[in-house]
Copies of this chain bind each other. A is one copy, B any other.
Amino acid sequence: MLIKNGNVLTFENDDVAIKKLDIRINQNIIENISESIEAEDNEKVIDAKNKIVMPGLINTHAHIAMSIFRGTFEGCDLYTWLNEKIWPIEANLTPDDIYNASMVSILEMISTGTTCVNDHYFFSNKIREAFEKSKMRAVITRVLMDSDGKEASNIRIKEFIELYESRNKNNNLITYTVSPHGLYTCSSEILQISKELAIKYNLPIHTHFLESISEIENIKKLHGDSASNVIKKYFDGLKIILAHGVKINDEDIRILKNLDCSISHNPISNLRLGCKIADITKYLNEGLNVSLGTDGQGSGNNLDMFETMKIAGLIQGGIHENENRIGSKDVIKMATINGAKALGLEKEIGSIEKGKKADIIIVNMEEKLDNIKMMPNLNVISNLVYNTEGRCVDTTIINGEILMEDRKIKNINVEEAIKNCKRIIKC
């Protein structure tokens, strides 16, 4: 397959550039990138003229089955929302509900340019089924916690082991994390078990971390130490993905930068839940790897990573007055290569490079009414961050396979997926 005449987004010497290049994909691999590649006989050719060809976006924190909670949150705080609205409904969801709720989210991701997502939920065998059906790349888990007692906790551990042991070893699109829910919902015992599972299976840790102000005190009460010290105590030596990290202070940064650890920044969810703004300008300056996530749709509204990029870029001006802060290029890196690093997949995905897996999206910047917000298109990189919406994505390629072309979805019946999701009206 050949992508011709595109404006290709590349990372070189730590810079982000746009260059006219052709790209050949062989099977699932980027085989060649060059100024001009001639099509072979019968080769599939995608004409990307006046379009941007860029690495697929990587969402490093989501709960994709939460599509059904979209619009349920309005103006309370995080824990009121979880306790009163989310957890009682979640308790009654069936495996089929999870499959159907996930499928709408997968459509949302493919159609807005996300090619890999790091999920965090339960009934994960059904979520895996949905990913397998769609042929999307994903990192999945079965979340662990024991704040509601040992019996429920033991079932979760058993479900996680069953999920991992039943993996299809031929499917390299789906990988796994070990995911204690958060330090305020997991005792030392469950953190220790998480560590042992992560070592045994050689998997990263994925957990909620310092999302909200009250967490700091709750973690101190439960573990007798600061959140960062607890992470260090249990997970030093492992790859760690910390979701949110809004309340990280200088002492936390000092501890975390010595671990193999990334912060998944979820700006929309943080704002919606009144958790304020994570100082990712500082985290990046201090050398922490920062990637982007959407969180679930209840708090995050949607899974459109272009929207998350825009808001991540904007809101640093909400805490840095007249000071240097991250720019468009940093935001693009966070949504792509930094995401790949967070998940330990940077040798496979996150950039358009020879030998990497072909996870590529094509963004429409043609001069037409639907793109009038970008005109006159004098700064493509700024427009990608600040004036592009998920639905500007024309084509989504994952692992060398076209999953959407010219906004037509290939492997999923869209109408049926929406109908099946609407049936889950418990919320």
Report yes or no: B72 in contact with A378, Cβ–Cβ below 8 A: yes
Q: Is A390 an interface residue (CB 8 A)?
A: yes
For A414, give the chain B residue with the smallest CB separation.
Answer: B369
Count of A interface residues, CB-CB < 8 Å: 76
Whole-angstrom distance between the Cβ of A247 and the nearest chain B Cβ: 10
Residues of B within 8 A of A319 (CB): 276, 318
Interface residues of chain A, those whose CB is within 8 Å of chain B, are 67-68, 70-72, 74-75, 77-78, 104, 107-108, 111-112, 212-214, 268, 270-277, 301-304, 311, 314-328, 367-370, 372-379, 382-383, 386-387, 389-391, 407, 409, 414-415, 418-419, 421-422, 424-425, 427
Report yes or no: A328 in contact with B74, Cβ–Cβ below 8 A: yes
When chains A and B are docked, how far (Å) is the Cα of A370 from the Cα of B415? 12
When chains A and B are docked, how far (Å) is the Cα of A26 from the Cα of B1? 56
Report yes or no: A314 in contact with B75, Cβ–Cβ below 8 A: no
Report yes or no: B391 in contact with A370, Cβ–Cβ below 8 A: yes
Residues of B within 8 A of A377 (CB): 71
Residues of B within 8 A of A77 (CB): 322
Report yes or no: A107 in contact with B318, Cβ–Cβ below 8 A: no
Residues of B within 8 A of A72 (CB): 378-379
Known: A75-B324, A112-B373, A303-B373. 7 other contacts (CB 8 A): A71-B378, A104-B375, A111-B369, A213-B321, A311-B314, A367-B415, A375-B421
Report yes or no: B275 in contact with A376, Cβ–Cβ below 8 A: no
In the A-B complex, the 8 residue pairs with the smallest Cβ-Cβ separation, listed nearest first, are A71-B379, A71-B382, A271-B317, A77-B322, A302-B373, A271-B314, A274-B317, A301-B386
Known: A301-B386, A304-B373, A311-B311. A270 touches B74 (CB 8 A): no
For A320, give the chain B residue with the smallest CB separation.
Answer: B274
Known: A111-B369, A373-B302, A409-B369. A274 touches B74 (CB 8 A): no
When chains A and B are docked, how far (Å) is the Cα of A418 from the Cα of B377? 10
Residues of B within 8 A of A389 (CB): 389, 391
Residues of B within 8 A of A414 (CB): 368-369, 372
Report yes or no: A427 in contact with B111, Cβ–Cβ below 8 A: no
Report yes or no: B273 in contact with A317, Cβ–Cβ below 8 A: yes
Residues of B within 8 A of A322 (CB): 77-78, 212-214, 274
When chains A and B are docked, how far (Å) is the Cα of A78 from the Cα of B323? 11
